[in-house]
């Protein structure tokens, strides 16, 4: 299955037994909404640097990781909403506020035909509330403010049809469905990505046919077309992506890649989803940041970011401090690569092969390669150092440990181990430090962060991580 399903599969594989769960696509919709609430929390966190505010927020997150892996997405959403509110005040939220926060909108599809004139949207609470529904509760939905739909739901789930603007002469448009809840004095605004695509089925079929004719994947473009055709077909068939995807743009770009010319080049800066060929028909899906001003005569450092279990290549770009690692790389002019890792601790992604392939396309300094991993990604980082001794300028393992079968590769390897003192992975991180130092590692930096738990450790530690990377990049 493609990315829209693999992250949920990972979470289910690691879950503890719970009560009966909703249907898979309903769970994927909740998973998407949970991701939106993580982003909202992290944006608010970035605004508040006060110790008291952050301490209040962290108090609501103690069960968040457990809730996620138990597939209790509703309860995880409640924890995040309370934590976000706690960043702004020490007051208790009102019933009206809780109702406004709880509601979310689920489009019947994230990809619509070019002739579609309306979209059916279901509104429901992400988590249960004990208080009565406010009598003045009102919702509004719109694509453009000229076609706004207003409703006062008397029960949930509540279904409404939202007018869709005409596509006109465009082949496709990536739109936003805006959703606002008004409950008393509380306003809650959000937006969901929805794409309108002309002739999507035949266009996707043509992509799959072209990819199926290749005996092997010889270029980044071919690997990307093959993987993207599968991914977009899945979403167009009704699967719920974990994040907003510009489907119309991704499809058009994939069609362009069929011309055989390089699409991904050093001159094209920005963020990209691409797949790196690994031989025959194997490929590694990645999300990549390419800075401006790359030139062949000046190779730049590259950072590999390895996400935790249940995550994906999107996590370091959109989470972990509202994508803070992207900002750190942009400020330095470094390339960032976030590979999709295997699920359920299935082993580290093929970082060395990905690096070798990308180095043929981008001016990467292969002597200044850095790795940062969180949770499962931390253990994968430890694995990679042992698998490729001397390949990395510095590495960081955050919120996790790892098995040290051979400590020799760490003897001269600059290594940062960071963990919060409220993180369930604290014993694993301490065990990693002991295994490294007992094994003769000479350059291990270990730090515990007061009051920090599993979710926030990456954001808390990134300044220290990049201080080490900066030192080793000189």
Q: Per residue in 12-62, pLDDT tens?
A: 333 433 445 567 789 999 999 999 999 999 999 999 887 899 999 999 999
Q: Does residue 305 have a pLDDT over 90?
A: yes
CB 433 within 8 A of CB 446: yes
Where is 12: in which H helix or E strand? helix 3-13
Q: Does residue 298 have a pLDDT over 70?
A: yes
CATH 3.40.50.1820 corresponds to the domain 264-473 = yes
pLDDT at residue 22, rounded to an integer: 64
> Identical fold at 102-197 and 264-473?
no
pTM of the model: 0.93
Quote the CA–CA distance of 38 and 282 in Å, as a whole number.
32
Q: 322 φ, ψ to 5°? A: 55, 40
Q: Which CB contacts under 8 angstroms, 24+ apart, belong to 160-164?
A: 160/120, 160/121, 160/123, 161/118, 161/119, 161/120, 161/121, 162/118, 162/119, 162/120, 162/121, 163/117, 163/118, 164/112, 164/116, 164/117, 164/118, 164/119, 164/196
pLDDT at residue 25, rounded to an integer: 83
pLDDT at residue 4, rounded to an integer: 36
CB 380 within 8 A of CB 357: no
Q: Does residue 5 have a pLDDT over 80?
A: no
Tally of residues, the chain:
474
For the record, the structure tokens of 115 come out as 């002739």
User: Looking at residue 17, what DSSP letter applies?
Assistant: P
pLDDT at residue 8, rounded to an integer: 36
Q: Per residue in 383-420, pLDDT tens?
A: 999 999 999 999 999 999 999 999 999 999 999 999 99
For the record, the structure tokens of 277 come out as 């060929």
Question: Domain locations in the chain?
Answer: 3-92, 102-197, 200-261, 264-473
The 10 Å Cβ neighbour count of residue 114 is: 17
CATH fold for the domain made of 102-197: Immunoglobulin-like (2.60.40)
């Amino acid at each position: 299955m493609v990315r829209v399903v693999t992250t949920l599969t990972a979470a289910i594989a690691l879950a503890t037994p719970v009560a009966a769960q909703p249907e898979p696509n309903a769970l994927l919709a909740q998973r998407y909404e949970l991701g939106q609430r993580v982003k909202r929390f992290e944006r608010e966190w970035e605004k508040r640097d006060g110790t008291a505010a952050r301490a209040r927020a962290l108090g609501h997150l103690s069960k968040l990781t457990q809730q996620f892996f138990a597939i209790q997405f509703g309860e995880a959403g409640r924890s995040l909403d309370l934590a976000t509110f706690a960043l702004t005040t020490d007051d208790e939220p009102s019933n009206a506020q809780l109702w406004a926060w709880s509601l979310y909108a689920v489009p019947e599809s994230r990809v619509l035909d070019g002739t579609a004139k309306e979209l059916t949207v279901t509104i429901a609470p992400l988590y249960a509330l004990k208080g009565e529904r406010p009598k003045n509760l009102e919702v509004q939905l719109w694509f453009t403010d000229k076609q706004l739909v207003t409703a006062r739901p008397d029960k949930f789930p509540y279904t409404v049809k939202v007018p869709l603007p005409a596509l006109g002469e465009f082949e496709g448009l990536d739109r936003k469905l805006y959703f606002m809840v008004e409950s008393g004095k509380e306003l809650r605004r959000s937006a969901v990505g929805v794409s309108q695509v002309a002739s999507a089925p035949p266009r996707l079929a043509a992509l799959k046919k072209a990819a199926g004719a290749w005996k092997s994947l010889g270029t980044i473009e071919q690997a990307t077309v093959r993987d993207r055709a599968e991914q977009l077909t899945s979403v167009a068939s009704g699967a719920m992506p974990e994040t907003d995807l510009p489907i119309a743009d991704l499809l058009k770009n994939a069609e362009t890649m069929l011309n055989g010319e390089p699409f991904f080049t050093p001159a094209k800066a920005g963020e990209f989803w691409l797949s790196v060929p690994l031989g025959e028909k194997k490929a590694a899906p990645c999300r990549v940041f390419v800075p401006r001003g790359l030139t062949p005569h000046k190779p730049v450092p590259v950072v590999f970011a390895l996400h935790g279990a249940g995550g994906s290549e999107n996590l370091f770009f959109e989470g972990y401090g509202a994508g803070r690692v992207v900002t750190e790389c942009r400020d330095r002019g470094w390339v960032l690569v976030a590979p999709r890792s295997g699920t359920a601790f299935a082993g580290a992604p093929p970082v060395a092969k990905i690096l070798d392939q990308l180095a043929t396309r981008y001016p990467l300094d292969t002597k200044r390669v850095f790795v940062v991993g969180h949770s499962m990604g931390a253990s994968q980082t430890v694995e990679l150092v042992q698998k490729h001794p001397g390949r990395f300028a510095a590495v960081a393992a955050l919120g996790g440990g790892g098995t040290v079968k051979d400590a020799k590769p760490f003897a001269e390897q600059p290594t940062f181990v960071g963990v919060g003192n409220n993180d369930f992975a604290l014993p694993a991180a301490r065990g990693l430090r002991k295994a490294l130092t007992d094994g003769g590692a000479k350059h291990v930096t270990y730090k515990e962060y007061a009051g920090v738990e599993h979710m926030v450790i990456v954001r808390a530690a990134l300044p220290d991580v990049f201080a080490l990377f900066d030192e080793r990049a000189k």
